[in-house]
Amino acid sequence: MESVQVQKRLADFSLEAHDLYLNKSVPHLDGPPKPLQFYRDWIAPNKPCIIHNAYSHWPALSRWTPKYLREKIGSKVISVAVTPNGYADAVVGDRFVMPEERQMSFSAVLDIIEGMVQKNGVFYVQKQCSNLLQELPELVDDLEPHVPWMSTALGKSPDAVNFWLGEAKAITSMHKDPYENLYCVISGEKHFILLPPTDRPFIPYGLYQSAVYQEQDSGEFNVIDNTDSQKVPWIPLDPLNPDLERFPQYRLAQPLCCTVKAGEMLYLPSLWFHHVQQSHGCIAEVLSAAVHGGSVGLSVILHLYLSTTDQPDGNINVNDILEKVKSRHTQQITVYLITNGLHKSNSHKEETNQYFFWTLTVPILMEV
């Protein structure tokens, strides 16, 4: 009975968060804000936004055509994720399956993306841990390795700057990151489905055996277990086609959908759940034109990772937290958010199924 009451109050808390301070859609800003203003309006309340004209001075916006990239880095060998269906790092049946990772020249990747060469599978340059700086430093002169006003707002430079290039079928399954993310789309479009941390009670998690795709000589992809790895907590739900019979609580979730176009920047706060697709129409259209010598035939995205504060440990009384939220007696309070059903001890040797908590500062916008 107590568990049911806690779940109900968590659901009420999530719904009140939408009413109190979350936007009904992702807001657009006409230009880059002042650092302090951005911190107050977006980072502190943990809200996403799309920023226009934030990097219109980057040469990459006009330079990064297939021809230019072939000439500049065509011979460079990079890490490429390959899957049979475009879903990398996703739940497949009772497994959490990661892509097969291959080393390929950049020109070979462009040949596949532009349709000049036919290969089994879906290819996606998505290596994280600052692959732009580590694998493609020749491109750094075409942009800034950090966004000055964001670095000032956070008091630090990015921890990683990633280069993503992919086909229309490349899809990122729903997950969250413990980072402040800036997505800077150079070419093409990205479609996002976003859910705030306060919707966590409605988002299912499971523990899954880790595995990896491996293409066979026949061209088929097998799923190979990583037998020496721990189980991975992941979200089994596909927001494009949610199984509401299996996950009825997801009916209460309130996702935000947005499209980020070339030249636009998405600020995605830490711990926001997100599912990402390439723009099918755009890529299909551009690829078709590129085969005949037309315009850019690829979608490129820079992902700037900026780390956040460490996770606090300890037991917290959920009812006390919710009472503090409901009281609304201050202009700004700290709300504790349940973010995972898996807790690792500091030794990383023990796991439990108890919840752990992160903190989020929430402005109270209602009059009291």
> How many angstroms separate the CA atoms of 42 and 185, rounded?
20
**Which residues, in sequence order, are CB contacts of 253 under 8 Å at separation 6+?**
195, 199, 202, 203
Q: Could you tell me the residue ranges of all domains in the chain? A: 2-9+314-363, 29-307
| Residue 367 pLDDT > 60 | no
**Mean pLDDT confidence for 286-304:** 28
**pLDDT digits 0-9 by tens, 82-135:** 999 999 899 999 999 999 999 999 999 999 988 899 899 999 988 777 888 889
**pLDDT digits 0-9 by tens, 48-84:** 999 999 999 999 999 988 899 999 999 999 999 999 9
**Cα angle 24-27-32, degrees, rounded to a multiple of 5:** 160
In this prediction, residue 320 carries a pLDDT of: 54
Tokens of 104: 């390929």
> How many angstroms separate the CA atoms of 366 and 368, rounded?
6
| Residue 321 pLDDT > 90 | no
271: left (phi over 0), alpha (psi -120 to 50) or beta: left
Phi, psi of 229 (to 5 degrees): -110, 155
Phi, psi of 213 (to 5 degrees): -75, 145
| Residue 273 pLDDT > 90 | yes
In this prediction, residue 65 carries a pLDDT of: 87
In this prediction, residue 323 carries a pLDDT of: 54
**pLDDT digits 0-9 by tens, 159-193:** 888 888 988 889 999 999 888 888 989 888 889 99
CATH topology of domain 29-307: Jelly Rolls (2.60.120)
Other beta carbons within 10 Å of 20: 15
Do 272 and 255 meet the contact criterion of CB atoms below 8 Å apart? no
Query: 304 forms bridges with which residues in the sheet?
Result: 161, 182
> How many angstroms separate the CA atoms of 109 and 192, rounded?
24
**Mean pLDDT confidence for 197-224:** 94
The percent of residues above 70 in pLDDT, for the chain, comes to 75
Do 109 and 80 meet the contact criterion of CB atoms below 8 Å apart? yes
Most confident of 118-132, 134-148, 235-249, 324-338: 235-249
Do 230 and 45 meet the contact criterion of CB atoms below 8 Å apart? no
Other beta carbons within 10 Å of 28: 11
Q: What average pLDDT does the structure give for the chain?
A: 77
User: Following DSSP, what letter does each residue of 258-291 receive, concatenated?
Assistant: EEEETTEEEEE-TT-EEEEEE-HHHHHHHHHHHH
With residue 190 as reference, give the H or E element that holds it: strand 189-195
Strands 95-98 and 179-187: unpaired
**Mean pLDDT confidence for 191-220:** 94
Do 184 and 265 meet the contact criterion of CB atoms below 8 Å apart? yes
Predicted confidence band of residue 326 (pLDDT cuts 50, 70, 90): very low
> How many angstroms separate the CA atoms of 90 and 237, rounded?
10
**Cα angle 253-256-258, degrees, rounded to a multiple of 5:** 155
Angle between helices 66-73 and 106-113 (to 10 degrees): 160
| Residue 318 pLDDT > 50 | no
> How many angstroms separate the CA atoms of 45 and 164, rounded?
28
Residue for token digits 């199924």? 353
288: left (phi over 0), alpha (psi -120 to 50) or beta: alpha
State the first-to-last Cα distance of the chain, in angstroms, to the nearest integer.
32
